[in-house]
Amino acid sequence: MHMRKSRVLKKIKEGGVAFCTKLNLSDPRAAEIAAMCGFDCIWLDMEHVPGHYIDLENMIRAAKISDCDVLTRIARSGGYGDIIRPLEADSTGIMVPHLMSLKDAKEIVYYSKFHPIGRRPLDGGNADGKYCLVDGADYIKEANEERFTVIQIEDPEPMEELEEICALPGIDMIFFGPADFSQGLGIPFQMSDERLVKARKLVAETARKHGKMAGTVAGIGNVQSLIDEGYNFISIGADVVALFSYYQNIIKETEKLTNK
């Protein structure tokens, strides 16, 4: 028996662009609906969202029904358990927010990759290893090949070591976070500022130069321009945005009817 293969990695290796959407609601049905709609990946959040690991595992299970990957942004509490628990729940990838240095990146690799890349603690008795049904040697090999480690560049500080971070074996994707980066520059939400645009382009260029995936967030209006810059993993939309957009439209249309 073998681990589930990553849909994102397959698509990108074939030269495509993988599309993801973010979920803030901790309901497996939300994950199931997003997966059924055709996204390559769902982004779950343990940094900002007050969820629990059992919720995470159930949402991952719901996504897998439609062969949809899950990327879990971990909490930065300092323990290696925050790194390995989402992976053992069979999250296809983990994303580490606010990476600040090459030293940080090396520690993430150490705990997220097995030998010979890192020293991720071994178990195999959870969902990713199919509860010990995946042979130990296959488990180590396939976890390194079919699971991806993502670090977020969302602060100006790590840009000084960007080249070394992107070159580091075991880091699979560099994900640019524009909102926090703008805050780090002292210009919150000024996304067209030339310093932010320059940094965004440099992240994609450097990541792709070293054979890494380049990820960021987008809206319908700027998807193509980001792809043209080299980004091949795009997160677009969110469940909470979809809901309020839909509900606001219903209220708007019903008010038109009742105010005739």
- DSSP string covering 165-226: HHHSTT--EEEE-HHHHHHHTT-TT-TT-HHHHHHHHHHHHHHHHTT-EEEEEE-GGGHHHH
d(CA 196, CA 156): 9
Q: What is the pTM of this model?
A: 0.95
Cβ-contact 223, 17 below 8 angstroms: no
What's the pLDDT score for residue 256? 87
Cβ-contact 149, 172 below 8 angstroms: yes
Q: How many helices (H) and strands (E) does the chain have?
A: 11, 8
What's the pLDDT score for residue 224? 97
Structure tokens that stand for 241 in this block: 């945005």
What's the pLDDT score for residue 77? 64
83 alpha-carbon distance from chain centroid: 13
Give residue-wise pLDDT tens across range 74-122.
987 667 889 999 999 999 999 999 999 999 999 999 999 999 999 999 9
Please identify every stretch of the chain with a pLDDT value under 70, giving residue numbers as ranges. 77-78, 260
What's the pLDDT score for residue 238? 96
Structure tokens that stand for 168 in this block: 């580091």
User: Taking Cα atoms as reference points, which of 77, 98, 84, 92 lies closest to residue 151?
Assistant: 98
